[in-house]
């Protein structure tokens, strides 16, 4: 299962909304719909360093940071840990044993 997680933060950096979308792959074409559906072009956006975000920089204010083992995306990792805990109760681990995730955080100004 491949998923894109998008977390909207308040101006005080508290979790406001979370969007999760199943995607085919991590190309900018697959990543674009969640941006188009939920993120304003004027929002401050912070993503990991995945290169699929590069083409989206033409339309969105994207800053890319290394995850640093989750330290740069604390709120997002709280959501992911909660979701993984819930999934563990209701869903088995896929045959290959991995879930693939990509991350986006944004703050509306």
Query: pLDDT (tens digit, 9 = 90+) per residue, 9-57?
Result: 888 888 888 888 888 888 999 999 989 998 899 998 888 888 999 999 9
pLDDT category at 83 given cuts 50, 70, 90 is confident
Q: What pLDDT does 92 receive?
A: 53
CA distance 91 to 83: 11
Is residue 20 within 8 A of residue 3, CB to CB? The reply is yes
**What is the predicted pLDDT for the residue at 109?**
44
Distance (Å, whole) CA 106 – CA 104: 7
Name the residue ranges covered by the structural domains of the chain: 2-107
Tell me the CATH number of domain 2-107, given options 3.30.420, 1.10.357, 2.40.350, 3.40.50.
3.30.420
Q: Report yes or no: 60 and 43 within 8 Å, Cβ to Cβ.
A: yes
Tokens, residue 49: 């360093």
């Amino acid at each position: 299962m491949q998923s894109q997680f998008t977390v909207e933060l308040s101006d005080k950096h508290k979790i406001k909304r979370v969007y999760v979308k199943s995607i085919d792959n991590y190309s900018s074409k697959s990543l674009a719909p969640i941006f188009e559906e939920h993120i304003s072009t004027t929002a401050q956006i912070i993503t990991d360093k995945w290169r699929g975000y590069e083409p989206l920089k033409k339309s969105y204010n994207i800053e890319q940071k290394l995850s640093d083992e989750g330290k740069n995306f604390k709120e997002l990792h709280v959501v992911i840990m909660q979701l993984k805990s819930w999934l563990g109760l209701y869903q088995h681990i896929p045959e290959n044993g991995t879930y693939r995730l990509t991350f986006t955080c944004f703050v509306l100004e």
